[in-house]
Amino acid sequence: MESILPFWGHRSPVDALAFGPAGEVLYSSAPGEEVIAWNPHTGLPIRKYRGDIGDKITGLVIDPKARFVAVADRHKVTFWEPLSGNKLRSVELPPGERPGDKDEEITVVTGAGNPDFLLIGDNLGRLLVVDIEKGTSQKSYRTSLGPILSLASGNTWAVLSDKKTTMVIDLTRPSVPVPVLGVLDGLGIKDLAKFDDRVVGTDDENLLFWGPDFKDNARAIKSDGMGDLKVDEAMQRALSVNGSGGLDLWDLKKKKKLDTVYENTDIPWVVAIDPTGEFVASAEQNGIAIRKIDGGPIAFDLHNAIVPQFLMFEPGTHRFLTAGNDGRPVRYDLKRPTSIEPFVQMDGPIVDGALDVDANGFYASTTQGDVVVFDYAKGKIAHTLAPDVGPRPHIALGGSRIALVSERRGLVADGKGELVVWDLVKDDALGRLNVTDAIDVEFTAATSKVFYANKAASVESWSYDNQQRKQVYDSLNSKASRLRMAPGGTMMALCGDKGVSFFNLNLDILSGAKLPNAVEVAFAYDGTRAVAATADNGVYLIYFEGDQVRTEPVVTTPTPVMTLSISSDNRFLLVGESRGTVAIFDLSQKSTKPIGTLQILDDERWVTFDPKGSFVGVPRDEIRFDVQGEIVTAVGAGYEWKRASGEIYSIFR
């Protein structure tokens, strides 16, 4: 089991993790912050759920019917609608019933066997059954336990523990007197979960199995310390934290350990398991780590969830635009030591972008499937298109038309998406086409042809005016990840598992560069070369020499490359990395070192730049840098400058 996606997005340590019912979304929450929904396949945030969340998270519950996302703090449970992110309601913890009851607090929350109800445990030893739709407590079981620290539920029963004593309650009977089915003392239970008709738990050293009434003896499986526990009933697996900071994966049917992952640095304290059996997640000191159960690529970092998804130079200039999953497109100028003002902050991540220099427009697709049109000359949002194409579409611009393609139409990742051509003048669709496993789209302004690629490494052209189609399968790759059009629309490049293939617009294969696991490519404007990036962090120049190609390594980046762009004078190369940086290379120097780096991070992290004037980055609106030789001035409260090494300075708070 290999770590593939450690990423950051919360300012405070994550206290709760849970996968959605289909495994397509991972939810996380942190004290005093919002709930974030992540795509576990990409590490990108999908949506944020904002509300008055207290300073301690006591539970995160995802409705198996996808009706709500619920987070509990000390005093209330807040519910949101998953798709819109709208707050539905809050349920307050009722006061204690006995004289002397005070300072009641929620200590644990879990879903009930009946999905219309939620179970809450508190520090008074109460178990409350909450009707989710009504937002009220229907039953209150006042047990003899101390603060309830762990809780699990079947269809008719609940098992709860204050660590010293573990109790099973019959939920079908009246709450007074408390209908206790069984009690077991002195086990020091740390966590509880349900599996079939049994109860699974952890103590300091064991994974434990009981029947729900505790009449059959608990079976213990020895481990080197146990912590948080999550069960996937459908896959008959459990995930737990061991005493060495590793993650243990268990086969609950056979009652044996399947695998262990040891982390050398960050000790996980909260875990989640994907119901499809593909991923496990853990909250650690520096963020959230996603691991693929059956192996996967090397880990990469998404610092603070601000990752460049789109880079493009403006033709004829050294200005470029970058946009990422922080929803904040920004323009920069390599000739000046300042950035151009950022646009209005969007509510969600930017998936893909297209730049229309003539019309001063930037088109950005969102996770919800809309296209936001920016007037980047004025620095504001002009309007929004609603093409109804499905979530997270890729886009391409062709004159007054835009093409969009999605991998799916709804919430289910079935690969059945749609290709739409949109008239930007009439604000209406020119044509629609059902597609399967689409990954990218390209357009030419001169014709009605649209080109799209799918995961099986085929490229298809579609003329939306006469419905003519042509498809060709790549002879080099069996899997594809990216399709790119050369400036002027002379050729296309397809990135895949074996390298980069080049096609003309008739879909004839021209040549191919063997660069295993190519993930991105950008063309030079002079048509003599291209730049490609691979999954092992390599960046390569590809030279076109007749019907052959020649490759030359440029640099190996610290983290995987997300996007590339070459200036129209073929001099500068931009490399956007998953750690949140944009590195600038001068191709005329043939150097493996960047001339400058923009660090797209928050205002509590470091920013590095070249003080000689070639490049500078601005992390926040209120900060301005002025570079005059080696004189650096930072305007912003609490900021200082410090010389780190050579000509690199660091600005820190």
- pLDDT of amino acid 218: 63
What sign does the dihedral 11-17-19-20 (CA atoms) show?
A: negative
Least confident of 60-64, 351-355, 518-522: 351-355
Confidence of residue 312 (pLDDT cuts 50, 70, 90): confident
Q: Which residue has the higher pLDDT, 380 or 570?
A: 570
* Residues above pLDDT 70, as percent of the chain: 75
In this structure, of 329-338, 567-576, 596-605, the range with the lowest mean pLDDT score is 596-605
Closest CA to 69 of 25, 39, 33, 113: 25
pLDDT at residue 93 tops 70: yes
Would you say how long the chain is, in residues? 653
- pLDDT bucket at 9, cuts 50 / 70 / 90: low
Other Cβ atoms less than 10 A from the Cβ of 456: the count is 15
Give yes or no for residue 380 having a pLDDT over 90: no
Select the CATH number that applies to the domain covering 2-292 from these four: 2.40.50.140, 2.60.40.10, 3.40.50.970, 2.130.10.10: 2.130.10.10
CA distances from 264 to 244, 247, 281 (A): 9, 12, 16
Contact by Cβ (8 Å): 251, 292:
no
Give mean pLDDT, residues 99-128.
90
Question: How do 198-202 and 69-72 pair as beta strands?
Answer: unpaired
* pLDDT-derived band at 117, boundaries 50, 70, 90: very high
Question: How far apart, in whole angstroms, are the C-alpha atoms of residue 271 and residue 250?
Answer: 14
Residue corresponding to tokens 């601000």: 306
**Worst-scoring range by mean pLDDT, 93-97, 212-216, 306-310, 604-608?**
604-608
How far is it, in rounded angstroms, from Cα 474 to Cα 456? Answer: 9
**Average of pLDDT values for 528-546?**
92
Query: Across all residues in the chain, what is the average pLDDT?
Result: 77
In the chain, the percentage of residues whose pLDDT exceeds 90 is 28
**For residues 544 and 527, what is the distance between their CA atoms, to the nearest angstrom?**
8
More confident residue, 330 or 104: 104
Range of lowest pLDDT (174-178, 387-391, 519-523):
387-391
For 54-92, the pLDDT digits (tens) are 878 899 999 988 899 999 999 999 999 988 888 898 999
How many beta carbons lie within 10 A of that of residue 23, not counting itself?
18
> Distance (Å, rounded) from C-alpha 413 to C-alpha 25?
11
- pLDDT score recorded for residue 440: 93
- In the structure, what pLDDT confidence band is assigned to residue 220 with cuts at 50, 70 and 90? confident
Residue 603: predicted pLDDT: 32
pLDDT at residue 140 is higher than 90: yes
Instruction: Report the alpha-carbon distance of residue 559 to residue 545 in Å, rounded.
Output: 30
Average pLDDT score over residue span 381-397: 85
Report which of 563, 447, 442 is spatially closest to residue 491, judged by C-alpha positions: 442
DSSP 348-370: S-EEEEEEETTTTEEEEEETTS-
Q: Which residue has the higher pLDDT, 454 or 235?
A: 454
**Helix ranges restricted to H, 334-442:** none
Q: What is the rounded distance in angstroms from the CA atom of residue 28 to the CA atom of residue 15?
A: 8
- Tell me the mean pLDDT in the region 574-590: 78
Q: What average pLDDT does range 278-293 have in this prediction? A: 72
pLDDT at position 47, please?
78
Residues 600 and 578: their CA atoms lie apart, in Å, by: 10
Per-residue CA distances from 599 to 147, 575, 633, 647, 650 (Å): 46, 12, 18, 17, 11
Q: What is the pLDDT of residues 17-39, one digit of tens each?
A: 999 888 888 898 888 778 888 87
4 has pLDDT over 50: no
Amino acid 489: pLDDT: 86
Two structure tokens written together for 473:
């399968």
- Residue of 538 and 279 predicted with greater confidence: 538
Pairing of strands 438-443, 428-436: unpaired
- Judged against a pLDDT cut of 50, whether residue 604 lies above it is answered with no
- pLDDT of residue 179 exceeding 80: yes
Kind and range of the H or E run holding 209: strand 206-210
